[in-house]
Amino acid sequence: MAPTSTTQPEAPEAGAAPAAGPAISLAGVVKSFRAGSETVRAVDGVDLEIERGEFFSLLGPSGCGKTTTMRVIAGFEDPTEGVVRLDGRDVTGVAANHRDVNMVFQSYALFPHMSVADNVAFGLRRKRVPKAEVTRRVGRILDLVELGHRARHRPSQLSGGQQQRVALARALVNEPSALLLDEPLGALDLKLRQSMQVELKRIQREVGITFVYVTHDQGEALTMSDRIAVMNNGVVEQLGVPAEIYERPATRFVADFIGTSNLVRGVVRAATGDLWKVEVADGATALAAELPGTVTTGSHIHLTVRPEKVRIGTDQPEGEVSRVPGTVAETVYMGAATHYQVDIGGGEEITVYQQNASGSTLVAARGERVWLSWRPEHSYALPS
Amino acid sequence: MSNRKFTPYVLVLPAWAWLALFFVVPIGGMLSLSLTTGNVVTGFQQTFEVGNYATAVSTYWEQILRSLFYGACATLVCIALGYPMAYWIAFRGGAHKSTYLLLILLPFFVSFVLRTISWRFFLSDNGVVLGPLKDLGLLPEGFAVLNSALAVILGLAYNFLPFMVLPIYAVLERMDPHLVEAAHDLYAGRFQAFARVILPVSLPGVFAGVLMTFIPTSADYVNASVLGGTHNTMIGNVVQTQYLVNNNYPIAASITFVLMGLLLVGIFSYARALGTERVMEVHA
């Protein structure tokens, strides 16, 4: 509650002076549900600190606990264990209508019996904001989402994308300390979703409010987020900026879930200088820059490498690179790129994406012997 | 090709035939009957006697008004009891929703008249309800419910309660539960969420429920004759007496049309009022 005196005033017109520290913090949050006779731990010990003004994504497959985590922040679920803080204030057990966060629902949950303007004004009216100010703020936010001309319409008269923006405006108009978005673009078609991603990012920059974004779409999370928490089985598997999540997946789950990743079994052989030699497939040598702490010579590990980091060629590559020979099992022409499936022996395949930059599309045909290579810093060792 | 064009009309034919046979023909017959004169011995002649309507209204206006009043009271009781029931089943029924719905419908497995007669025992002067209350001294010895307006209204409400519960339940059950969460999220407490979101969204269900209880309750005669004694007769009882006892078919038919006209006017103004209210809300 008590703000530190050195904090600069940054929130434009919020009543209370902003406290120092993260906008949202979760400490040891557990949420279990009773399903018949057994108890399911939907959220199983989550610690998060979401910074002010950040675009933060909770990313994971369905059932990973991301939506439950968000509902705990919103106040729709009470955590079984742990503490939720908003702006440093402990709000665990505080009802949703007394929390300074607003939510954009996947189904939009627009009130069907009210006009667009009345939907947007709902929160302000409950807070007993003076009438003139309600009108002013509703008008301004509807202009921001480019729906000023639709104020008198019912939600059912709007398209999906427009309803989505009304839902956004209805939450944003309250100028909450954080906006929670539960797969808000899930119901839109691809084209609209892409333009709404850009739109959401623009709006977030303009209003400067903390966004917590729940999605199972990794592309969406990677392009929009400042930071991402990848969740699985109720725990955060990895927390980091998009490039870090993509380039350096911390667990096999993250490597597998984010983008396409090759996972190759291997045995650690020896270290030469800074690099570790890893024997993969039928005796080929791959190089790894770093190994997990628990791994020593002789350990069985998985090496990850992204398909676009792998070079494919007919000549044996030179230099300090991983060198793996194989046979092309499949080629798929994708327009901008060609995808190769290469059999490297030992029952393993590596996927390679080759940009079709120089016009010559096919490097190798099906059944041809090829060499795969990648730089040591592009592959990471994960414990088996 | 032309065969295909007529197919929809052929398919809808049974429905039209059904409507014609069981709605248009009887109602036409009744309308014609209401304008005849004569008696059962000499027969009825079509004289276009509009005076039948004047006689019907001037003689039985009291019963007509009483019927509408009882119907309205029973409908209000049904809303007061039925809304919470529907709400509870829809939102708190969990896995047992269908069981609760079955319980609501269960009385329908017993004959309507039998159920109403059982209320005579239930409400009798020293019966299961009033007896103990009188023994405890909570009610005076002479207190009675049977043969009063209250008994008729209670009987009507009891008999038609499911017709109120089911349409309200249908609307509440279909409602996106996120609407309630959205209301809470936008700082509405429990009461505000109910008054501003749940209730307005469920109004179409209430509207349907009102139609389905008010129309049959105002025209009912069983409850008044079983529970109401001699001083609380409704227009249904009058029609029954005129038809079956006095054999005055023209008067019985004209009363029927008066009641029908009043109900139609009432329903349309009710729909209008509800409609306008919604239009105003948009501009609020």
**Co-location of A288 and A202 in the same domain:** no
B160-190 pLDDT, tens digit each: 999 999 999 999 999 999 999 999 999 999 9
Q: Which residue, A220, A253, A286, sits at the end of a domain?
A: A253
Taking alpha carbons only, the member of B214, B215, B237, B212 closest to residue B224 is B237
Q: Find the CATH number of the domain harbouring A305.
A: 2.40.50.100
Q: What is the pLDDT of residue A172?
A: 93
Q: Which residue, A185, A218, A253, sits at the end of a domain?
A: A253
Chain A residue whose CA is closest to B181: A76
Which ipTM was obtained for this model? 0.79
Residue in A76, A110, A123 closest to B187 by CB: A123
Once rounded to an integer, what is the mean pLDDT over residues A310-336?
A: 88
Domains detected in chain B: 58-283 (1.10.3720.10)
DSSP state of B187: T
The answer to whether position A223 is within a domain reads yes
B205-263 pLDDT, tens digit each: 998 899 999 999 999 999 999 999 888 999 999 999 999 999 999 999 999 999 999 99
Q: What is the pLDDT of residue B191?
A: 95
C-alpha–C-alpha distance, residues A372 and A356, integer Å:
17
**Co-location of A61 and A102 in the same domain:** yes
Once rounded to an integer, what is the mean pLDDT over residues A107-117?
A: 94
Beta strands A227-232; A55-59: pairing state = parallel
Q: What is the amino acid identity at position B223?
A: N
- B181, B185, B201, B277: which to substitute to probe chain A, counting the most A Cβ within 10 Å? B185
Q: Find the CATH number of the domain harbouring A172.
A: 3.40.50.300
Chain A residue whose CA is closest to B178: A109
Taking alpha carbons only, the member of B179, B196, B202 closest to residue A103 is B179
**Co-location of A120 and A199 in the same domain:** yes
Distance from CA of A284 to the nearest CA of B (A): 56
Q: What is the pLDDT of residue A361?
A: 59
Which value, to the nearest 10 degrees, does the dihedral of the CA atoms of residues B197, A151, A142, A139 take? Answer: -100
A140-178 pLDDT, tens digit each: 999 988 899 999 999 999 998 899 999 999 999 999 999
- Chain B CB contacts of A120 under 8 Å are none
- Chain A CB contacts of B282 under 8 Å are 114-115, 118, 152, 154
Q: Which residue, A253, A285, A301, sits at the end of a domain?
A: A253
Longest dimension (CA), chain A: 76
The two structure tokens encoding residue B166? 């089911």
Q: What is the pLDDT of residue B151?
A: 94
- A111, A141, A180: which to substitute to probe chain B, counting the most B Cβ within 10 Å? A111
Residues belonging to chain B with any Cβ–Cβ distance to chain A shorter than 8 Å:
176, 178-179, 181-189, 192, 196-197, 200-201, 203, 278, 281-284
Dihedral over Cα of B133, B138, B141, B147: its sign: negative
Which value, to the nearest 10 degrees, does the dihedral of the CA atoms of residues A267, A273, A275, A277 take? Answer: -30
Residue in B181, B203, B278 closest to A76 by CB: B181
Distance from CA of B78 to the nearest CA of A (A): 24
- Chain A CB contacts of B185 under 8 Å are 74, 76, 96-97, 102-103, 171
A246-286 pLDDT, tens digit each: 988 888 899 889 888 888 888 888 877 678 888 887 788 88
Judged against a pLDDT cut of 50, whether residue A34 lies above it is answered with: yes
Judged against a pLDDT cut of 60, whether residue B277 lies above it is answered with: no
Q: How many CB atoms lie within 10 A of CB A1?
A: 8
Number of domains in chain A: 2
